[in-house]
Structure 1
């Protein structure tokens, strides 16, 4: 008589290999979901930060542009006020009586240095040019016709003052500077039909003269070039 045989069902012990694998897969998926959520959150924060930073930069740029525009407007306003006021001590000539013919013959001027009159067809370069030697009057007068201010000096002018003036001229378009030994004043500033004598580069009238007459209303040929003319050492 055969004995009865029975099988014991497979164990469902959670520590079994299959159970451990399943648990590892669940944990891996949970990590993936967590990492994905973290990545999305970080990306959102980064993008938000970049957008915020970009907006801040644009706002700052616009504010800086407004500040510059306001400063430029203020400078224009101040310059306009300066131009309305006469320069104390300046000498004035009737510009209608100053000749403006282009000639290639010598010209005898009434003043030293001259403030206008007939002149050579070629102008002296006056784009902030500082000349160490005398320049031809007939060419410098042509520069005045283009709206330049001509700074001249004689042997009485202190070198320290000349250095300051040279710096100012060097950074100011439509100006030139050169020695004129025969002039009466130590330092003289000339524009077309205008002239001022000073003793110091710090005289506030120097700034006023530049502001008023560099390409000022007295200019016979506003906008004409101050480059591509005659140059000298």
Structure 2
């Protein structure tokens, strides 16, 4: 009887120890998954910002020039058919015409967009981080405070202080994903999006 009690005590202790080790690991894994899912779906929630695991990559099936307005599946778009003129590099305080910005992406440009809820000081921080071959512009109603985009590749950011901005620039900021990586956004047009959706 004493031996049976000893065996049961050892088994119970083993179960408790395993639970104490395994349950926190499972919870941490769930938190990371929730953070990534929240980021991918544009919902506010915990986001793991230690690496680029949340970067999204998209297939871009067509890259034809068109004078027409394009209905892009992402906001901001990551590529696709676009205007024959590319958008000039720089910082914009109004929403830009997507079709021209996408042409700049084709040239290897980095495009950082931000929601209007972002403070002026945070917008200034983003402008400081913007590379020479870069565009910064507001994008009303987007699914994150800031989003950084290169051709076919995008990352939703927690804000201007997100350390992944520099990680993303180091990994993708040289135009590696673009069809024309040696081109430039310099020499482009400065085209804004007017209220009726046409080029201003």
Q: Same fold (TM over 0.5)?
A: yes
In structure 1, runs of 5+ residues without a counterpart are 1-85
Question: Structure 2: which 5+ runs fail to align?
Answer: 1-50, 193-200
Give secondary structure in 2 for the equivalent of 1:94: coil
Range with greater deviation from structure 2 (110-119 or 208-217): 208-217
- 2:154 match: secondary structure: strand
1:140 to 86, 91, 101: 101
Residues 199-231 of structure 1 deviation map (CA, whole Å, 9 limit, x = unaligned)? 232222100111222233211101112111111
Quote the residue 1:211 is aligned against.
170
Kindly indicate whether residue 23 of structure 2 is the aligned counterpart of residue 90 of structure 1: no
Tell me if 1:175 matches 2:134: yes
Seen in structure 2, the aligned counterparts of structure 1 residues 197 and 114 have a Cα distance that, compared at 3 Å, is same
Does 1:117 pair with 2:76? no
Task: Tell me the distance in 1 between the aligned counterparts of 2:111 and 2:166.
Answer: 13
Native 8 Å contact 1:146 1:215 kept in 2: no
8 Å contact 1:90–1:194 — kept in the other structure? yes
Aligned to 1:14: none
Q: Alpha-carbon deviation of 1:195?
A: 0.9
Q: 1:139: how far off?
A: 0.2
Deviation at 1:163, TM superposition (A): 1.1
In proportion to residue count, which structure has more helix?
1
Question: Which residues in structure 2 correspond to 1:38-187 (within 5 Å)?
Answer: 87-95=52-60, 97=61, 99-126=62-89, 129-169=90-130, 172-187=131-146
Q: TM-score, normalised by structure 1?
A: 0.58
TM-score for both structures, normalised by structure 2: 0.67
**More deviation, 204-213/142-151:** 204-213
Q: Matched residues in 2 for 1:202 and 1:187: separation? A: 10
RMSD over equivalenced CA pairs, Å: 1.6
Q: Secondary structure at the match of 1:151?
A: strand
Distance in structure 2 (CA, Å) of the matches to 1:160 and 1:89: 26
Distance 1:187 1:176 in 2: 13
What secondary structure is seen at the aligned counterpart in 1 of 2:124? helix
Q: 1:94: how far off? A: 2.0
